[in-house]
Amino acid sequence: MPVITLVNEGKTIEVTEGENLRKVLRKHGISPYLGKDNFLNCRGNGLCGTCRVEIVDGKGASPMTPLEEAALVGLAPFYARLVPKNVRLSCRIDVTQDMTVRTYPKVTLDWQRTKERLTLLIIWAFFGGTFLFVMFRLLYEIATGL
């Protein structure tokens, strides 16, 4: 049976092969979330990117999928995170071998990507707003017979 070593907690946990890391942590009273993320998370669906852990020694971790990578960076259209390569989502990891994990890794904002996303959002909002204005104006004119 694989063994998970938790660096911050100073614990080792024996798990059944293939068990989900997030579920194992919660089963042993360790939350992978910080602060408000304890309540505002996607319940292990791999979408919110809040159940991050650092894989110190990761031979036992299942490989990362493109969706996990996207969720780590942030699926929101207005910001992006700068995530180190060994940071993963605990809800996306099935433990197959021994591994060493650090909970609550530091993640910062990726200002370059955030600026790009905000610029695109503003452009979309401008053209979307203009389109809606023209459509409502057109409907109004048709409805009133102007």
Q: Which is nearer to ligand FES, 41 or 60 (CB)?
A: 41
Residue 80 engages ligand FES in binding (rule: CB under 6 A): no
26, 30, 44, 110: which one binds ligand FES (CB under 6 A): 44
HEC assignment per residue over the chain: CCEEEECCCCEEEECCCCEEHHHHHHHCCCCCCCHHHHCCCCCCCCCCCCCEEEEEECCCCCCCCHHHHHHHHCCCCCCCEECCCCEEEHHHCEECCCEEEEECCCCEECHHHHHHHHHHHHHHHHHHHHHHHHHHHHHHHHHHCC
Residue 71 engages ligand FES in binding (rule: CB under 6 A): yes
Q: Which is nearer to ligand FES, 66 or 145 (CB)?
A: 66
Q: Interacting stretch for ligand FES, rule CB under 6 A, among 5-13, 42-50, 120-128, 132-140?
A: 42-50
Q: Kindly list the residues in this chain that would bind ligand FES in the complex (CB under 6 A).
A: 41-42, 44-51, 71, 89, 91
